Amino acid sequence: MVTEHRLIPGWCPQCRKGKRQWLWVAVTRLTTVFLVSCTRGRQALRELIGESYQGILHSDRWGAYNVVDPSQRQICRAHLKRDFQALSERQTRAGPLGALGLREIKRLFAVWHRYQAGELTWAEMRWELVPVRTRLGRLLRLGVSGGDPKAKALCRNLLKLWPALLTFAFVPGLEPTNNRAERAWRGAVLWRKGCFGNQSDNGSRFTDRILTTVATLRQQDRNIVEYVVAAIQAHRTGQLAPALLPVATLLGEAA
């Protein structure tokens, strides 16, 4: 079901019979896929995207995503902005470093917004991000050699993921944040609060499948009720359920 090259996974807590579960979501151009899992680790990620994912994984820096090579990832810049903000508020040597990092992230977003507004071409945006990238790299190396453990851990982690920090500047259609995944969660989280979670494996499967169906159909501007009715009729007559992906997409994959 997840076929696009740009994928945005994430998770939020669920409950089943008092035991914590996790709701994952992967958003692509044409689909939104939910998965209720008993883990938020690599096992759930592999179930969601497969064993050999070949696209671009857009996410935060949660450790489970490290199974994907950094060259195939984009780190969410909004999460990174919050990390530098937290560093800037520390009353240690990390404070100035966090403030400098926050300034570079704000510059990055300023360039991105100018591109989004049509003030910069794709090439101009990439060119203006070069000095931002250079200063950010110098800052991270400085943080690793500093004495603050929080700053050192953050900077060391970001240097390991260095190829994933500006992937959006090299892959058309990619964004610097994973806001699409955040937005996809909202309805699911409200539903969880209202229904008090799942009580069985079947309930978990119904939850992730109905959430996937509704979100994907909305992405494609398709009628949800018509699709569900057609799916029930197909089940009762022993036929295949209607496809969630557009017919043109399926034909393209078959070719």
Please tell me the pTM assigned to this model: 0.82
**What residues contact residue 125 under an 8 Å CB cut-off, 6+ apart?**
111, 112, 114, 115, 169
pLDDT at residue 202 greater than cutoff 90: no
Q: Output the CA torsion sign for 28, 217, 210, 14.
A: positive
Tokens of 222: 């398709």
Summarize pLDDT for 20-32 with one digit per residue, the tens.
778 888 888 888 9
Summarize pLDDT for 83-119 with one digit per residue, the tens.
999 999 988 888 999 999 999 999 999 999 999 999 9
- Chain centroid offset of residue 143 CA: 26
More confident residue, 2 or 180: 180
Write down the pLDDT at residue 254. Answer: 42
Summarize pLDDT for 105-158 with one digit per residue, the tens.
999 999 999 999 999 999 999 999 999 999 999 999 999 987 789 899 999 999
Please tell me the distance from the alpha carbon of residue 125 to that of residue 33, in angstroms, as a whole number: 32
Tokens of 110: 């300023």
Task: Enumerate the β-bridge partners of residue 23.
Answer: 12, 36
